[in-house]
């Protein structure tokens, strides 16, 4: 059984990543969900995480709110993509239970301290909480089994031509995380943009009962679904990597996050010519899309059977 701690900013694709984790309960235990301001404000990402915890029947998994904004920068949001609530057209029942006491950064440090080598950090929002955890207790780098992120790219941006959203939203935090001493598993836009909900995929979501009430409006409000293309469910790639790294081709690289550029702030400058330097990242360069959807839809189908 693999264990993860998921740091997220739900976020439509964060919700679909959480659904993948919930549907993979036979192989994956979620030790906690932490939230960060990102796609929408922290109050909304936390409210969405709480609603998703109950809708997806995560039971007692703690939801702990973290950082509201970037370490240094003005706030950047993605409401133009995720809608005012952060979940697009999805409407979930109001949660009955509130968040855990305390702060996500403490939760991350203490959870990893208690189980060194066991828990993989999966970060699918701006890296503010992870950077603060590293600053507060540098040994989290040793204690984490692994760090898998959705973020960055070696070819392009999405929020602007240079930068992917999670990197742009807190470039200093991203720089701290990439420089911390671990080997970041980077699921960037280069692969996540191939994880598209096409009409064939959507056709397999419609019959999924209650779960379809999340999946279908999520996909439809996240982008235009056609036979050849559709919205990319970026964040689910990070959870999929934990479940089955063989879905991805990954190449060692030295990644530096641009924090000073006038037009390139948040760019993940990726050098595959590592030479005698230490590779600080393993960068995903391709995804087996068919096997990815077999994994994801299989998990959704199992979850749907549970949820009714
Ligand atoms: C990333 O940015 C956010 O809008 C998504 O939730 C995803 O984590 C994609 O660039
Ligand atoms: Ca996200």
pLDDT at 59: 96
- Residue 13 sits in a domain whose CATH number is 3.90.245.10
**Helix ranges (DSSP H) in 180-288:** 189-192, 199-205, 209-222, 234-243
pLDDT class for 197, splitting at 50, 70, 90? very high
> Exposed, middle or buried: residue 275 (CB in 10 Å: 0-12, 13-18, 19+)?
exposed
Is residue 240 within 8 A of residue 152, CB to CB? The reply is: no
Which entry of 80, 82, 159, 234 is annotated as an active-site residue?
Answer: 234
C-alpha 255/C-alpha 69 separation (Å) is: 23
Residue 222 has pLDDT above 90, yes or no: yes
Nearest ligand 1 atom to the CA of 150 is 8
CA 90 to CA 59: how far, in whole Å? Answer: 21
Predicted confidence (pLDDT) at residue 243 exceeds the cutoff of 90 = yes
Query: Would the pLDDT of 220 be above 90?
Result: yes
234 an active-site residue?
yes
Cβ within 8 Å of residue 282, ≥6 positions away: 183, 184, 185, 186, 250, 251, 252, 253
Q: Under the phi-then-psi rule, with left for phi > 0, alpha for psi from -120 to 50, and beta for the rest, what region is 46? A: alpha
Look up residue 284 and give its two tokens.
């995903």
165 lines ligand 1 (CB under 6 A): yes
Q: How far apart are CA 38 and CA 124, in angstroms?
A: 10
203 contacts: CB under 8 Å, gap ≥ 6:
none
Q: Which ligand is nearest to the CA of 39?
A: 1
> Do residues 5 and 121 make contact, with C-beta atoms less than 8 angstroms apart?
yes
- pLDDT band with cut points at 50, 70 and 90 for residue 106: very high
Strand partners, 232: 196
Task: State the pLDDT at residue 244.
Answer: 98
Whether residue 52 has its Cβ less than 6 Å from ligand 1: no
Q: Is it the case that residue 207 has pLDDT exceeding 90? A: yes
CA 84 to chain centre: 19
Structure tokens at 302: 């199992």
Q: Kindly state if the Cβ of 186 falls inside 6 Å of ligand 1.
A: no
Burial 221-255 (b: 16+ CB within 10 A, else e): bbbebeeeebbbbbbbbbbbbbbeeebbebeebbb
39 lines ligand 1 (CB under 6 A): yes
> Over the chain, what is the mean pLDDT?
97
Question: What percent of the chain is modeled with pLDDT above 90?
Answer: 99
Model pLDDT, residue 51:
98
Gyration radius of the chain over CA positions: 18
State the pLDDT at residue 103: 98
The full 3-state SS of 147-192, as one line of letters, equals EEEECCCCCCCCCCCCCCHHHHHCHHHHHHHHCCCCCEEEECHHHH
Rounded to whole angstroms, the Cα distance separating 108 from 125 reads 15
Q: Which atom of ligand 1 is nearest to the CA of 11?
A: 6
Rounded average pLDDT over 279-297: 98
Strands 146-150 and 184-187 turn out to be parallel
- Write down the pLDDT at residue 308: 85
Q: Averaged over 110-123, what is the pLDDT?
A: 98
Residue 134 CB partners (closer than 8 Å, separation 6+): 140, 141, 176, 177, 180
Q: What is the pTM of this model?
A: 0.98
Q: pLDDT at position 1, please?
A: 96
Cβ neighbourhood burial of 142 (10 Å; 0-12, 13-18, 19+): exposed
Mean pLDDT of 39-63: 98
How does pLDDT run across 154-195, given as a tens digit for each residue?
Answer: 999 999 999 999 999 999 999 999 999 999 999 999 999 999
Q: Is 93 exposed, middle or buried (0-12, 13-18, 19+ CB in 10 A)?
A: exposed
Q: What is the mean pLDDT of residues 201-223?
A: 97
Whose C-alpha lies nearest to ligand 1, atom 10? 165
The residue range of the domain holding 223 is: 2-307
The number of domains in the chain is 1
**Structure confidence at residue 198 as a pLDDT band (50, 70, 90):** very high
């Amino acid at each position: 059984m693999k264990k993860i701690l998921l740091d997220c900013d739900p976020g439509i694709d964060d919700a679909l990543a959480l659904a993948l984790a919930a549907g993979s309960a036979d192989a994956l235990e979620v030790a906690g969900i932490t939230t960060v301001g990102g796609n929408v404000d922290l109050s909304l990402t936390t409210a969405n995480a709480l609603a998703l915890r109950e809708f997806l029947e995560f039971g007692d998994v703690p939801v702990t709110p973290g950082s509201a904004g970037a370490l240094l920068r003005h706030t950047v949001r993605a409401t133009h993509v995720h809608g005012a609530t952060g979940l697009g057209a999805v409407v979930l029942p109001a949660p009955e239970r509130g968040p855990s006491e305390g702060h996500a950064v403490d939760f991350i440090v203490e959870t990893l301290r208690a189980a060194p080598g066991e828990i993989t950090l999966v970060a699918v929002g701006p890296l503010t909480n992870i950077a603060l955890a590293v600053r507060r207790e540098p040994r989290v780098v040793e204690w984490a089994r692994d760090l898998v992120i959705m973020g960055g790219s070696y070819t392009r941006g999405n929020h602007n031509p240079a930068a992917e959203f999670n990197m742009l939203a807190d470039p200093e935090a991203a720089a701290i995380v990439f420089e911390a001493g671990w080997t970041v598993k980077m699921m960037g836009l280069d692969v996540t943009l191939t994880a598209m909900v096409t009409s064939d995929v959507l056709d397999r979501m419609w019959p999924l009962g209650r779960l379809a009430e999340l999946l279908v409006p999520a996909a439809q409000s996240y982008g235009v679904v056609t036979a050849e293309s559709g919205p990319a469910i970026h964040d689910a790639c990070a959870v999929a990597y934990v479940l089955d790294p063989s879905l991805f081709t990954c190449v060692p690289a030295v990644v530096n996050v641009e924090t000073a550029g006038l037009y390139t702030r948040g760019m993940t400058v990726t050098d595959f010519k590592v030479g005698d330097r230490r590779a600080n990242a393993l960068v995903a360069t391709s995804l087996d899309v068919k096997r990815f959807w077999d994994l994801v839809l299989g998990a959704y189908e199992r979850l749907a059977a549970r949820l009714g």
